[in-house]
Amino acid sequence: MSKIKTTLEILRKRLDSNGLLEVQQEDGYIGKAEMIFNPPATEEELQKLPFTVPEDYKEFLRLHHGGLIFNDPKYGGGFELFTIDEILEFRAIPGYDFPDNWFPIAYGYDSCCLIITDKTVGNGYLYVMETGVNFEEDDMYIGMTFEDWLEKFIVAQGSKFWEWGFRIPPMLSF
């Protein structure tokens, strides 16, 4: 079974009878989050994409044509995984002027966009963009694939794990 299917199946098993997941995030936040996944994209919908879709992301679209994850049922928010039409609409918003090879595939907390590019950095092709900032200076390649991002986002219980500072242990000398 693929990593995307496994990740989503395990997530579904963790949902309560109302389709909610209890999450614990930074600053002691504990609450319920809803996970809403759309039906699969059709082949006709996939043909609308004006770029080559990485296989793992295409697999996700064939399973779920977008959705809303880690959404607070009372206050909203969450991270919206775009449908193909939403990708094209968001990309066309005046003022964003995305580079030709950037395609926003999700939008969430604090105006954060998840971008697919045709550039591989590290082990992946994803870029995080805080909307409303300079594209070159403040954006960040996160060097992972969509399937890796989705798995880590779920394990991090909807937190922006890519912003966490990681402690690098000092070199040990013998």
Query: What are 40-89's pLDDT values in tens digits?
Result: 999 999 999 888 889 999 999 999 999 999 999 998 888 999 999 999 99
Domain presence at residue 114 = yes
From start to end of 25-165, where are the E strands? 30-37, 67-71, 79-81, 103-108, 112-121, 124-130, 140-141
What is the model's pTM?
A: 0.87
Domain residue limits at 30: 3-160
Tell me the CATH number at 121: 3.40.1580.10
CA distance 105 to 87: 6
Quick check: is 8 in a domain? Answer: yes
Quick one: average pLDDT of 17-34? Answer: 89
> In this predicted structure, what is the pLDDT of residue 138?
47
Among the ranges given (2-11, 22-31, 97-106, 162-171), the one the predictor scored with the smallest mean pLDDT: 162-171
2 phi, psi to nearest 5 deg: -70, 160
Alpha-carbon distance of 92 to 112, in angstroms, equals: 17
Which of the four pLDDT bands, split at 50, 70 and 90, describes residue 134? low
- Is residue 174 assigned to a domain? no
Q: Looking at the 3D structure of the chain, how many domains does it have?
A: 1
Q: How far apart are CA 77 and CA 29, in angstroms?
A: 14
What pLDDT sits at residue 33? 95
- Quick one: pLDDT at residue 136? 53
Q: Is residue 165 part of a domain?
A: no
Q: Please, are residues 71 and 33 in contact by the beta-carbon 8 Å criterion?
A: yes
Give percent of the chain with pLDDT exceeding 90. Answer: 53
Neighbours of 22 (CB within 10 A): 12
- For residue 114, the cross-strand partners are 106, 128
> What is the structure's pLDDT at 101?
84
